[in-house]
Amino acid sequence: MWAHSRAPTHCRASVSKQQSAPIISLFYLFISQGRCPRTPRAFFKKLGQKLLFFGGGTMGIPKTNAMRILEKEKISYEMHTYDASDGHIDGAAVARKVGMVPAKVFKTLVTKGHSGNYFVCVLPVEHELNLKKAAKVFGEKSLEMIPVAQINAVTGYIRGGCSPIGMKKNYRTVFDSSAQAQETMVVSGGKIGFQIEAKPDDLLRACGGVYADVLA
């Protein structure tokens, strides 16, 4: 299939047998799904955009708290990477970059209740949060979004890389009920440039959340 093609220079690398095993497995996965890239360049581009986890390994990618927790809970997931060098890290832009429909990609919002407690809301990137609905879910008189400057102090993550899994504390979390209609959903991997895809119920279990309608 690639007999008359040469791998582009920037794709060439020296890998050990152990390192090459995931690449070979990914190659056969593409073939089995009828999605094998036509050229070496396309294959390595796809490999860079979609890193699959084999036996808990990440092919040298540093793990975030979110990834560690999913692996500890033995939850299967797939990691997608995207180029954030253009500064476009909003949810809609990320959905385009990872090639997913927006309804499948969810953003993580952190709120503060009238009680002073923090709460996490996970909803589709193209929708807005209804604070009154969310407050009712958490039994709060009212909720407000926390300032962007406080995200790291509260969650341990930063804007654009805030995952609902693996925050500093186990905050009460709600997933918008629209997630239940998705076979898999995508959330931040805990670092800018990384997204995690897994089954909604598995992600919900990992952060001890509940489903509820919280869309505006």
Distances (CA, A) of 137 to 25, 144, 154, 173: 43, 14, 21, 10
Does residue 8 contact residue 40 with C-beta atoms inside 8 Å?
yes
Q: How far apart are CA 56 and CA 183, in angstroms?
A: 22
φ/ψ of 135, rounded to 5, equals -60, -40
DSSP type of residue 49:
H
CATH code, domain with 142: 3.90.960.10
Domain presence at residue 68: no
Q: Is residue 41 part of a domain?
A: yes
pLDDT score of 15: 36
- Report residue 87 as tokens: 């500064």
| Same domain as 157, residue 52 | no
Residue 97, φ and ψ in degrees, nearest 5: -65, -35
pTM: 0.74
Whether residues 135 and 182 share a domain: the answer is yes
**Which parts of the chain sit beneath pLDDT 50?**
1-22, 24-25, 28-29, 32-33, 49-58
174 falls within a domain: yes
Q: Which domain holds residue 146?
A: 81-212
Kindly give the pairing relationship between strand 210-212 and strand 172-176.
Answer: parallel
Indicate whether 137 belongs to any domain. yes
Q: Is 82 helix (H, G, I), strand (E, B) or coil?
A: coil
Tokens, residue 70 = 């999913």
Same domain, 89 and 53: no
d(CA 39, CA 52): 20
Asked, for residue 73, whether it belongs to a domain, the answer is no
User: 102 and 23 in one domain?
Assistant: no
Do 49 and 102 lie in a common domain?
no
Q: Is 213:133 a contact under the CB 8 Å cutoff?
A: yes
Residues 47, 109, single domain; the answer is: no
Q: 94 and 187: one domain?
A: yes
Residues 26 and 97 in one domain: no
Q: Look at residue 192 in the predicted model and tell me its pLDDT.
A: 95
pLDDT value at residue 138:
98
Report the alpha-carbon distance of residue 176 to residue 122 in Å, rounded.
Answer: 6
Q: Is residue 117 part of a domain?
A: yes
- Two structure tokens written together for 193: 């440039």
Q: How many domains does the chain have?
A: 2
Chain centroid to Cα 38, Å, comes to 27
